[in-house]
Structures are given as structure tokens and as C-alpha cells.
Amino acid sequence: MLMRRLAVLVFLMCGAPAAAGAESPDTEIRAALEHWMADFNAGHADKVCDIFAPSLRADVAGAAERDFDAQCGLLRQSLGDSSRSLSYALDLKEILAEGDMAAVRLNWTLTTRVKATGDVSTTEEQGLDIFGKGSDGRWRIIRFMSWQRP
């Protein structure tokens, strides 16, 4: 019995395989981005900031650096504008995860429709998101940079 307990202890200390059903960082991050896109496209202003860590810093070409509050305020304001509808489409290029950090290269296509006229415009944004895994086990964006594609 002692040998069995010792074997289990050594197994646990040396690193047990991931538990059944545990997802890879790539899978979790992809799901977080897709969930964010669904919330944004559905106009869920109360949920669009769930993907961001409180320590967020956002750099968007042509704009001042934003913190969590500024980024969330802008997103909520945009979704609250009843004169237009907005939707994002995600093109995920690459996820590089190491430990509790991950870099994500992606492109977003924003489609804006003016309700009064029906005019539709699209903007393509290229970006780099840095995710950190919090103490709660969730991956959140801690830094991001985006710029319009030429």
C-alpha cells in the first residue's frame, strides 16, 4: 500500500497528463474570441468587456492608448448607437501560447450598416492580442494593438 501511494505521489509531482476534457490554450482562446464576437454581434453591451483583463492596455492606430475603462466605454457606446448596426467577422491567423501567456495574430472585419439609409461599409483591422491566463483559469486580453489594413 505504501509503494502504491508513493507511486501516485511521484506521478503527481512529475506532471500528470491533462485531465480528461481539459482544453488546450489554443482551443480556449479561440472559444473566447468567438464568444466575444457573438456577444458583440448580438449587441450584448453588458458582456463585451468580459474578454479583457482589468489591466488592459489597447493601442489602436490613430487613437490614444486606452485602458480597460476607456475601451469598454467605447465598445458600449458603439453598441448603444441605435442609428447603425455593427458586426465583426474573425479571421484568426495564429495562436502562440507558452505557459500563462499567448500571442494571437488576427484580422477583424467590421461591417457597419446605417439603418436610415441602408448604406453598408466594411473596415479591415489587423491585430495582435496578448492574452494572460488569470488566477481564475480564464484567458483574457491584457494588451492589444490594431491597425487598419491597407
What are the sequence ranges of the domains in the chain? 24-148
Rg (CA), the chain: 20
pLDDT at residue number 134: 94
Cα 118 from Cα 109, distance rounded (Å): 18
Q: How many CB atoms are closer than 10 A to CB 56?
A: 21
pLDDT at residue number 17: 40
At residue 127, the 3 state secondary structure works out as strand
Return the amino acid letter for 127.
Answer: G
- Asked if residue 132 lies in contact with residue 119, where contact means CB atoms within 8 angstroms, the answer is no
- How many degrees, rounded to 5, is the angle at CA 33 between CA 15 and CA 114? 175
Instruction: Kindly provide the residue ranges of all beta strands, DSSP E only, lying in 24-83, ordered along the sequence.
Output: 52-60, 66-67
Cα 144 from Cα 89, distance rounded (Å): 17
pLDDT at residue number 13: 35
Cα 16 from Cα 13, distance rounded (Å): 8
pLDDT at residue number 103: 98
pLDDT at residue number 126: 97
Between the two ends of the chain, the Cα-to-Cα distance in Å is: 67
| pTM of this structure | 0.82
pLDDT at residue number 12: 34
pLDDT at residue number 22: 61
pLDDT at residue number 149: 75
| Per-residue model confidence as pLDDT tens for the chain (150 residues) | 433 443 333 333 333 344 334 689 999 999 999 999 999 999 999 999 999 999 999 999 999 999 999 999 999 999 999 999 999 999 999 999 999 999 999 999 999 999 999 999 999 999 999 999 999 999 999 999 999 876
CATH number, domain 24-148? 3.10.450.50
| CA nearest to 131, candidates 56, 60, 39, 59 | 56
Q: How many residues does the chain have?
A: 150
